[in-house]
Chains A and B, each alone.
Chain A
């Protein structure tokens, strides 16, 4: 008995010692960084080594979006490592789209001195929660999907985003609907998430000012049965606006529309951009990201993503762009002969000026972290389910 106790204590102790020894040499929780390379690298001639954190909803209610973002971030890191001869590792952190967890993950990344910048978080509420700690740590973080207007009012000096904000997308789409589709009655359904409600509150005033009768509905993202809601679509309603994040739900909504012989067409936003999933003919999709399969320069990226991860939608490419910005910043810091650190990577990101990118537009940031001249792309789905870009 006593011997067993001694042996058990010895086993636990040796594991703990080994763990502590190994982690102290890798500066705390370093995730998938191997302990050898976590010590400072970079500098002229030597390999450029750094870690980039990824915060996203890998599990939880929007796990499909989060995993897509993670995959594209990993793809960007591997492609940039090959192109720039750097050794950047990606450390993932799961936030489940919850701000409290995002705070914990952020603290984890902040404590890990090898992480010099972060991609994410995905949700606007999460950005609100982590903006402060990130600013205190001087760590840049670039989001590929947080579109709330309040985020770039100067509160969070280290925040950047590669997508445009709701105040641009909402009125732009609403005006297009009013001017081109001329609806008399319109139904707009939000999915009870901040992204959706933000867009709705930007769009509804435009509709009302144009004299369109608006029926504002709301369903949770977890709902999969829309037959009752679809039955509410009157014959006079010609447009249903779905600023949703889950394309599969919108596809089901469209099917229910067809099944109940309703003539309304669907106007969706970024979440619906999913060529494999949302294919209701005649629908419009407004996206902050282009269809990268239609951009010739993105052919290799699209092919790589397709073969490794299957079909993807609209949330992956912006995260690729964000990760790429960080990778390039790290590479430029190394080329200047310095060791990547949070401050010089932050400065390099502020100076970002890419003439082309996966998003089909130049990337640079204004003083508040917004993407300058962010474009929105409007697509119409043809009868064969293909997304056709509508030139602006």
Chain B
């Protein structure tokens, strides 16, 4: 029985991992709303493997559209995080084990490759070729994953989360402080060999990009096969109800350990390629903020779905690492997102038109009042650049002392947004224009001038909003948990 079938219309009888009654409810939509859902169903008719091939092809062809060095670097980073998200999906999405120390396996893979392929150990160092060192590192990571998974036998979900969180922290501390002569300490390990195998050597960024696309596609294919095998079904059974699974003769402990080991192997693979591409590893590369990025990607895309994990991670990284690094492009993203949300969410055309017109009018009115009140209230210029700045210059209030006003505006915006969610529809229409204007105000005064903080705010907001609005992510499957 394929797990691909979602039960919005007619489920084919009982399925492991999907509550039949839930699935039958017509108003519980498993697909994205409206035309997106139609697109999803259409793409499902194509089949999973052709979709994977298409995605891989698209990824491989992308650089020839004139991607520069920066975009390639962002692409490489995004692909590494996508690989990590796919690995994390095994542990969190399929087996239901909340592993907050996943980044340690990534670090293990990177450091393992670094130690085996650089001048770090011994006088001349070990310089194994990649086809040797990568499997060795992956096996080592699997063993480490088994070791980490051992406490999971006796720990229930939340305890496991904390223990793994500490193990993740312990890894950073370990590599930073212990044996600095062997592990490099805070100086890390530098001058790592590139990936070398049978005379081939990858030294350029485009090379690593293609390698990562190939590795990601192959990993996703392997995991797809695993998903539909006995192991995959055992993982899902253990996630839903460990007691029932044990009663059905599934060796629950062994299954959990195998989930950890598989996730660790994928993470280590990502780590080795990362180490080779960066040519350096440092302890701070494997700290908690990276883990949060992986989780954000997994959550956005949908835990439990391979395609979801990869897609979510790619989207998050492209936005975080690529678009939000420069204020100009961040502006397009911000205004584009706001406009898109308003466009899609406001139902009747009239209402949409009224809200947009009211926002523009409100803006001009507010600015006129502010200018009449005091000249310094509109003395500053918008923080954006390019045509957006020219467009909003006469619309948005930007005081001379932008920072303080922007801060208050930020707090007010959060409060307004929370209020918007709570109130009735009529009040929502009334509150929308001031909220939109306030959003633009906060953007121009504070957020766009500090892109580094803004992108972190965005990651936090993604996690919060996604979990509240659509916990199963973009491509995930909705689950109902029976409380214990």
Q: B-contacting residues of A (Cβ < 8 Å)?
A: 1-5, 7-8, 11-12, 15-16, 18-19, 22-23, 26, 28-35, 58-59, 91-94, 96-100, 103-105, 107-108, 110-112, 124-125, 128-129, 132-133, 148, 192-194, 196-198, 218, 220
A125 adjacent to B70 (CB under 8 Å):
no
With A8-B344, A91-B326, A148-B187 given, name 6 new contacts (CB 8 A): A7-B343, A29-B325, A58-B450, A99-B188, A99-B282, A110-B69
B70 adjacent to A111 (CB under 8 Å):
yes
A99 adjacent to B325 (CB under 8 Å):
no
A94 adjacent to B340 (CB under 8 Å):
no
Residues of B close to A148: CB separation below 8 A: 187
Say how far B154's CB is from chain A's closest CB, in angstroms.
Answer: 30
B73 located at the interface, meaning its Cβ lies under 8 Å from any Cβ of chain A in the complex? yes
B186 adjacent to A31 (CB under 8 Å):
no
Say how far B374's CB is from chain A's closest CB, in angstroms.
Answer: 22
Residues of B close to A103: CB separation below 8 A: 73, 278
Q: How far is the CA of A327 from the CA of B340 in the complex (A)?
A: 42
Residues of A close to B332: CB separation below 8 A: 15-16, 18-19
Interface positions, chain B 253-301, Cβ under 8 Å from A, are 278-280, 282, 284-285, 289
Say how far A100's CB is from chain B's closest CB, in angstroms.
Answer: 5
How many residues does chain B have at the interface if contact means C-beta atoms less than 8 Å apart? Answer: 48
Q: How far is the CA of A35 from the CA of B343 in the complex (A)?
A: 29
B35 adjacent to A1 (CB under 8 Å):
yes
Residues of A close to B284: CB separation below 8 A: 97-99, 125
Given contacts A8-B343, A110-B69, A111-B70, contact A94 B328 (CB under 8 A): no
A125 adjacent to B452 (CB under 8 Å):
no
Residues of B close to A4: CB separation below 8 A: 343-344
Say how far B22's CB is from chain A's closest CB, in angstroms.
Answer: 26
Residues of B close to A107: CB separation below 8 A: 69-70, 72-74
Q: How far is the CA of A107 from the CA of B343 in the complex (A)?
A: 35
Residues of A close to B289: CB separation below 8 A: 96
Q: How far is the CA of A56 from the CA of B73 in the complex (A)?
A: 19
Q: How far is the CA of A19 from the CA of B77 in the complex (A)?
A: 23
B385 adjacent to A35 (CB under 8 Å):
yes
Q: How far is the CA of A5 from the CA of B385 in the complex (A)?
A: 29
B343 adjacent to A129 (CB under 8 Å):
no
Residues of A close to B187: CB separation below 8 A: 124-125, 148, 194, 197-198
Say how far A231's CB is from chain B's closest CB, in angstroms.
Answer: 21
Of A125, A129, A132, the most chain B CB neighbours within 10 A belong to A125
Of A2, A23, A112, A129, the most chain B CB neighbours within 10 A belong to A129
From A57, which residue of chain B is reached at the shortest CB distance? Answer: B452
B332-344 contact mask (Cβ, 8 Å, vs A): 1 or 0: 1001100110011
Secondary structure class of chain A's binding surface, majority of residues:
helix
Say how far B179's CB is from chain A's closest CB, in angstroms.
Answer: 13
Interface positions, chain B 184-207, Cβ under 8 Å from A, are 185-188, 190
B453 adjacent to A59 (CB under 8 Å):
yes
B339 adjacent to A11 (CB under 8 Å):
yes
B386 adjacent to A35 (CB under 8 Å):
yes
A29 adjacent to B328 (CB under 8 Å):
yes
Q: How far is the CA of A29 from the CA of B343 in the complex (A)?
A: 28
Residues of B close to A198: CB separation below 8 A: 187
Say how far B433's CB is from chain A's closest CB, in angstroms.
Answer: 18
Residues of B close to A112: CB separation below 8 A: 70
From B336, which residue of chain A is reached at the shortest CB distance? Answer: A15
Secondary structure class of chain B's binding surface, majority of residues:
helix
A108 adjacent to B326 (CB under 8 Å):
yes
From A35, which residue of chain B is reached at the shortest CB distance? Answer: B386
From A91, which residue of chain B is reached at the shortest CB distance? Answer: B326
Residues of B close to A91: CB separation below 8 A: 326
Q: Can you show 14 pairs from A to B with CB atoms below 8 A apart? A: A3-B349, A12-B340, A18-B332, A22-B328, A22-B387, A28-B68, A29-B326, A29-B328, A30-B326, A30-B328, A59-B453, A99-B280, A111-B70, A192-B176
B34 located at the interface, meaning its Cβ lies under 8 Å from any Cβ of chain A in the complex? yes
A11 adjacent to B186 (CB under 8 Å):
no
Residues of B close to A99: CB separation below 8 A: 188, 278, 280, 282, 284-285
Residues of B close to A196: CB separation below 8 A: 186
B328 adjacent to A23 (CB under 8 Å):
yes
B135 located at the interface, meaning its Cβ lies under 8 Å from any Cβ of chain A in the complex? no
From B285, which residue of chain A is reached at the shortest CB distance? Answer: A100
A5 adjacent to B35 (CB under 8 Å):
yes
Q: How far is the CA of A125 from the CA of B285 in the complex (A)?
A: 11
Q: Which one of A94, A108, A110, A129 lies within 8 Å of B452 (CB-CB)? A: A94
B456 located at the interface, meaning its Cβ lies under 8 Å from any Cβ of chain A in the complex? yes
B451 located at the interface, meaning its Cβ lies under 8 Å from any Cβ of chain A in the complex? yes
Residues of B close to A32: CB separation below 8 A: 327-328, 385
Residues of B close to A7: CB separation below 8 A: 343
From A58, which residue of chain B is reached at the shortest CB distance? Answer: B452
B386-405 contact mask (Cβ, 8 Å, vs A): 1 or 0: 11000000000000000000
From A191, which residue of chain B is reached at the shortest CB distance? Answer: B186
A104 adjacent to B186 (CB under 8 Å):
no
B376 located at the interface, meaning its Cβ lies under 8 Å from any Cβ of chain A in the complex? no
B17-37 contact mask (Cβ, 8 Å, vs A): 1 or 0: 000000000000000001100
Residues of A close to B321: CB separation below 8 A: 104
B180 adjacent to A197 (CB under 8 Å):
yes
Given contacts A8-B343, A98-B285, A192-B177, contact A23 B186 (CB under 8 A): no
A197 adjacent to B326 (CB under 8 Å):
no
A28 adjacent to B70 (CB under 8 Å):
yes
B444-459 contact mask (Cβ, 8 Å, vs A): 1 or 0: 0000001111001000
Residues of B close to A104: CB separation below 8 A: 70, 73-74, 77, 321, 325
Q: How far is the CA of A16 from the CA of B336 in the complex (A)?
A: 9
B35 adjacent to A108 (CB under 8 Å):
no
Say how far B268's CB is from chain A's closest CB, in angstroms.
Answer: 17
Q: How far is the CA of A192 from the CA of B183 in the complex (A)?
A: 14
Interface positions, chain B 148-178, Cβ under 8 Å from A, are 173, 176-177
A93 adjacent to B325 (CB under 8 Å):
yes
Given contacts A8-B343, A22-B386, contact A105 B325 (CB under 8 A): yes
A100 adjacent to B77 (CB under 8 Å):
yes
From B35, which residue of chain A is reached at the shortest CB distance? Answer: A5
A128 adjacent to B280 (CB under 8 Å):
yes
Q: How far is the CA of A52 from the CA of B270 in the complex (A)?
A: 34
Q: How far is the CA of A30 from the CA of B289 in the complex (A)?
A: 26
From B383, which residue of chain A is reached at the shortest CB distance? Answer: A32
B55-87 contact mask (Cβ, 8 Å, vs A): 1 or 0: 000000000000011111110010000000000
Given contacts A94-B451, A218-B177, contact A111 B69 (CB under 8 A): yes
From B187, which residue of chain A is reached at the shortest CB distance? Answer: A194
Residues of B close to A111: CB separation below 8 A: 68-71
Residues of A close to B177: CB separation below 8 A: 192, 218
Q: How far is the CA of A29 from the CA of B73 in the complex (A)?
A: 14
Interface positions, chain B 30-52, Cβ under 8 Å from A, are 34-35
A100 adjacent to B325 (CB under 8 Å):
no
Q: Which one of B74, B282, B451 lies within 8 Å of A98 (CB-CB)? A: B282
Given contacts A59-B453, A192-B186, contact A15 B335 (CB under 8 A): yes
From B71, which residue of chain A is reached at the shortest CB distance? Answer: A111
Interface positions, chain B 317-360, Cβ under 8 Å from A, are 321, 325-329, 332, 335-336, 339-340, 343-344, 349
A128 adjacent to B190 (CB under 8 Å):
yes
B326 adjacent to A31 (CB under 8 Å):
yes
Given contacts A125-B186, A197-B180, contact A11 B340 (CB under 8 A): yes
Q: How far is the CA of A198 from the CA of B74 in the complex (A)?
A: 32
Q: Which one of B73, B280, B325, B386 lies within 8 Å of A34 (CB-CB)? A: B386
From B188, which residue of chain A is reached at the shortest CB distance? Answer: A125
